[in-house]
Structure 1
Amino acid sequence: MEPEIRTYGGWRRRHGIGLLGLDTTATFGALAAALVLVVLAAMKPTVLPYVALPAVLAGGLCLIRIGGIPVGRLVLARTRWWWAAWRGRTRYRAGIVVDHPRAFQLPGVLAPLTLLSAEDGRTGSYGIVWDRRTGLLTATLRVVPASTWLADRADGDTWVASWGGWLAALGHLPQVRWVSVTVDTAPEPGSTLADAVSRSLLPEAPQSARAILDELVRTAPAAAADVDTRVSITFDPNASPTKPRSLPEAVAELSRLLDGLASRLGNCGVSVLGRATAAELAGTVRIAFDPHSRGEVNRLLSYGSPDVLGWGDAGPLFAREHTDHYEHDGGVSVCWGWHEPPRQNVRSDILAGLVAPGPFPKRITLQYRALPAAAASRLVQQEVNAASFRAQFRRRTGRDETARDSIDAARARQAAAEEAAGAGVCLVSMYAAVTVTDPELLPRAVAHVESAADTAKIRLRRLWGSQAAAFATTLPCGIHPADLTRRLPH
């Protein structure tokens, strides 16, 4: 008898009380516009021809979709992009010698960030990315995941269950805004192995042994990969029950919170190496902007002093955002967002092919925003009510229920039942970025990532006009695109 293979599913997109593919706000706006037209037709029919044409045009912009996105939203996004490009906000260039208070400011959404170094209480220190605009603090845990290919299926299921419990516990920590899990992979530059061999090689070693080691150093990088997995936790001092009154108090509370979260991560199939230092965070950002510096940065982090790299070393000298790619020091990157999760149930190792090392540097980031227990209960009940409203509307208008509508309503009820039984509710998003050093290899890198996403049963959508923000999201800096859209322009 074959053992039962556990599968996972049930995730769904938020819909709200939306009709004809519109969200809640647009639905009520459309209903209000239709009501106005009906009143005008009854009270003053002569005005109706002058109002009907703009109403039909606005309705077309809202209802006609391209790739699942309303035409009106695409037009608005394109207009904003042209305006930003005309004002030069899509280009960044830093000077080598600049005497200016913001000489080492990072480009785009990374500009308000700065790097702090805090003591961890164990004679060591760790880095914190501080958003000076919002006050958010982001610390990063460096972890090593256990391979699912070398573990029993039951162990993998246990790790998934523990990870779900870890995320559910975040719903009782209002000061945790979101968690970003990033798998950063790249071909091994060869410097790590070369440095290790050169330090171990004795002057009196036989020539044959030297030849074997030289051949190993020469050929190993082609089959080796540099893999870095990190868990970045973004902390909001203003939402903390203790209400820290100063930055040192907020950092002290963050440190205590990290101890508990790191200890529970050990049950999720990962080994926690520790907190990332300020130099490691700066080096990670630097490597992302300049892939050629990977070997040198790794060498400095391995054999240099703890403060060998600072925030001034992290940023690029040049960056330019295009609608479909992002140019920066030594490389060109393309970024995607999660458009649709798998429709069917999947196994626990479904993402293994997507996050596995490939021929190009890439970063896959999953962001989790756990809802507080009270808010989660309201949200799942609102989704159930919205599904019932849409079903009632279809019956009143004589429309048949589609298979997708039926499954979506069933999943909404399932989520509400599981939440009532004690499960947590998380808003999940995914971002992917791939980088090439030769622009001619960009189509090949794009095809590699998109084919890997298809294997993982995931639909990725290239983030047109938002390449720089998505690129920053995959870095350990606490960037969350949904949070950026709610900020007022400055």
Structure 2
Amino acid sequence: MGHEVRTYGGWRRRHPIGLLGLDTTSTFIVLACAMLLVLVAAVAPQALVFLVPPVVLAGGLGLVRIGGVPVGRLALARCRWHWGVFCGRNRYRAGVVVDHPCAFQLPGVLAPLTLLSAEDGYGGRYGIVWDRRTGLLTATLRVVPTSTWLADRGDADTWVAAWGGWLATLGHTPAVRWVTVTVETAPEPGSTLADSVERAVVPAAPAAARAIMSELVRTAPSAAADVDTRVSITFDPRASPASPKDLVEAVAELGRTLDGLASRLGACGVSVLGRATAAEIAGAVRTAFDPHARGEVNRLLARPSSEEILSWGEAGPVAATEHTDRYEHDGGTSVTWAWHEPPRQNVRSDVLARLVAPGPFPKRVALQYRALPAAAASRVLQQEVNAAAFRAQFRRRIGRDETARDSWDAARARQAAVEEAMGAGVCLVSMYATVTVTDPADLRRAVAQVEASADSSKIRLRRLWGSQAAGFATTLPCGICPPELSRRLVH
């Protein structure tokens, strides 16, 4: 008898009511333009000579797509990029000698952020990244996941179910804007093991034993890896039912929310080590910008006075330059991708194992969850079902047969609505992956390694052309959300 394997697959791309791949607003604009042309043709046919060319041009820019993106949007993004380069906005140079309390200390989208240190109520302290522009607060939980390769299949299924329940609770916590789960891997620099062995070896130990330990320390970095898993929770004080009046009350409310979320997170197959301190957050940002500093940062974090040594002022780079296809910063060059399309079929619980597994280069893979409020989830899913029905009716009216993908998408929309009615949560999910090399000659090999790992995980990644700095920042424990950034840009 064959062994039954549990599979999962509850995701689909959002498809609002629209025609020809357009959203609702664009569809109404196209219909309005078509009606205008009909009216002009009936009243003043000679005016069509002047109206048809711009309408055809605008229609081509909006309907013709490259990689699923309209040509007009690509052209606009390219124009913005060239304007930003012309204004020097893709380059950052730190003022090493300048010290001003109100100065921005990090480049790009990280500029409005600053680092706070708060008491956790248990005699310790933890770090909070505060966005001074929006008021959002981001705290990070350090966790150690249990490997599914060494666990019973039933336990893995229980963990997945608990994780789904944990995400569903976010819909009942309006103050939590999004949650970012990041798995950071890098070759072990050797300093951690060397410092540990140096403290353990006594001077009276036999010479042969000391030689064996020295050889172990020398060869271990080629086989060992430094793995760090973080759960960053972004909190919006303005959406909290407690309505905090100032920053102190907002931080207190964040601490109470973290207690509840951390206690339920332990049932999801991870061990919660605690809240990341301000020094650990600054150290994670520092090693991302300067991979050569990983060993030194690990040494500093092992000291009791790391809070005083590792501050937000030391986290940023001295220089950084963003290119369309890469991001150059202190001692490294990084490339970032975004989740273009999820797996089209059901997958097992270890689908991301190859992508997040340690490799020869420092890498960060971040999954970002934006839970829809429980009150709005049913309405959104019903709109998705209505949109699928509208598209099916439109295809029948024009005599076009339904494709297998259309049928699958409509079934997924109905399934999501049924599951939500049974108590499941609804989240907008996105994923970002960043790889960093210290030698530019290794960049092509690192890119190929990440893309091959994504293919084996049945995931399609798209390089963030022209948005490398924002994607790089998203994988840091700083609460950056690209969809939120683009929404601010539009407004």
1:50-199 counterparts in 2 under 5 A? 50-103=50-103, 105-199=105-199
Distance 1:325 1:276 in 2: 29
Q: Retained in 2: the 8 A contact 1:135–1:237?
A: yes
Secondary structure of 1:267's aligned partner: helix
Q: How far has the Cα of 1:489 moved from its partner? A: 7.7
Distance 1:207 1:422 in 2: 65
Distance 1:333 1:237 in 2: 33
- Does residue 371 of the first structure (1) align with residue 367 of the second (2)? no
What amino acid does structure 1 have at the position aligned with 2:244? P
Gaps of 5+ in 2: none
Q: Retained in 1: the 8 A contact 2:104–2:112?
A: no
| Map of 2:342 onto structure 1 | 341
Distance 1:28 1:473 in 2: 34
Q: Retained in 2: the 8 A contact 1:104–1:315?
A: no
Distance 1:444 1:136 in 2: 38
Secondary structure of 2:2's aligned partner: coil
Say what the alpha-carbon RMSD is for the aligned residues.
1.1
Instruction: Name the CA shift for 1:192/1:433 in 2 (closer, same or farther; >3 Å).
Output: same
| Map of 2:441 onto structure 1 | 440
Secondary structure of 1:272's aligned partner: strand
Secondary structure of 1:486's aligned partner: helix
Q: Retained in 2: the 8 A contact 1:104–1:312?
A: no
Distance 1:314 1:100 in 2: 16
Q: For this pair of structures, how many residues does the alignment match?
A: 490
| Map of 1:276 onto structure 2 | 276
Distance 1:463 1:252 in 2: 37
Q: Retained in 2: the 8 A contact 1:94–1:103?
A: no
- Does residue 217 of the first structure (1) align with residue 217 of the second (2)? yes
Q: How far has the Cα of 1:470 moved from its partner? A: 0.4
Q: Please, what TM-score do these two structures have when normalized by structure 1?
A: 0.99
Q: How far has the Cα of 1:104 moved from its partner? A: 5.4
Gaps of 5+ in 1: none
Q: How far has the Cα of 1:484 moved from its partner? A: 0.5
Distance 2:203 2:273 in 1: 35
Q: Retained in 2: the 8 A contact 1:104–1:311?
A: no
Secondary structure of 1:138's aligned partner: strand
The alignment-based identity, stated in percent, is 77
Distance 2:403 2:47 in 1: 39
What does the per-residue CA deviation read over 1:456-475, in whole Å, with 9 as the maximum and x for residues that have no partner? Answer: 00000001000000000000
Instruction: Name the CA shift for 1:299/1:424 in 2 (closer, same or farther; >3 Å).
Output: same
| Map of 1:410 onto structure 2 | 411
Q: Retained in 1: the 8 A contact 2:104–2:111?
A: no
1:29-40 counterparts in 2 under 5 A? 29-40=29-40
Q: Retained in 2: the 8 A contact 1:324–1:465?
A: yes
Q: How far has the Cα of 1:486 moved from its partner? A: 1.3
Give runs of ≥4 in structure 1 deviating > 4 Å: none
| Map of 1:320 onto structure 2 | 321
- Does residue 468 of the first structure (1) align with residue 469 of the second (2)? yes
Distance 1:26 1:82 in 2: 26
What does the per-residue CA deviation read over 1:120-145, in whole Å, with 9 as the maximum and x for residues that have no partner? Answer: 01110000000000000000000000
Distance 1:104 1:44 in 2: 58
What does the per-residue CA deviation read over 1:143-201, in whole Å, with 9 as the maximum and x for residues that have no partner? Answer: 00000000000000000000000000110000000000000000000000110111111
| Map of 2:478 onto structure 1 | 477
- Does residue 456 of the first structure (1) align with residue 457 of the second (2)? yes
Distance 1:101 1:59 in 2: 50
Secondary structure of 1:431's aligned partner: strand
Q: How far has the Cα of 1:479 moved from its partner? A: 0.4
Instruction: Name the CA shift for 1:431/1:137 in 2 (closer, same or farther; >3 Å).
Output: same
Q: Please, what TM-score do these two structures have when normalized by structure 2?
A: 0.98
Distance 2:462 2:257 in 1: 35
Secondary structure of 1:38's aligned partner: helix
Q: Retained in 2: the 8 A contact 1:137–1:236?
A: yes
Q: How far has the Cα of 1:96 moved from its partner? A: 2.0
Q: Retained in 2: the 8 A contact 1:289–1:328?
A: yes
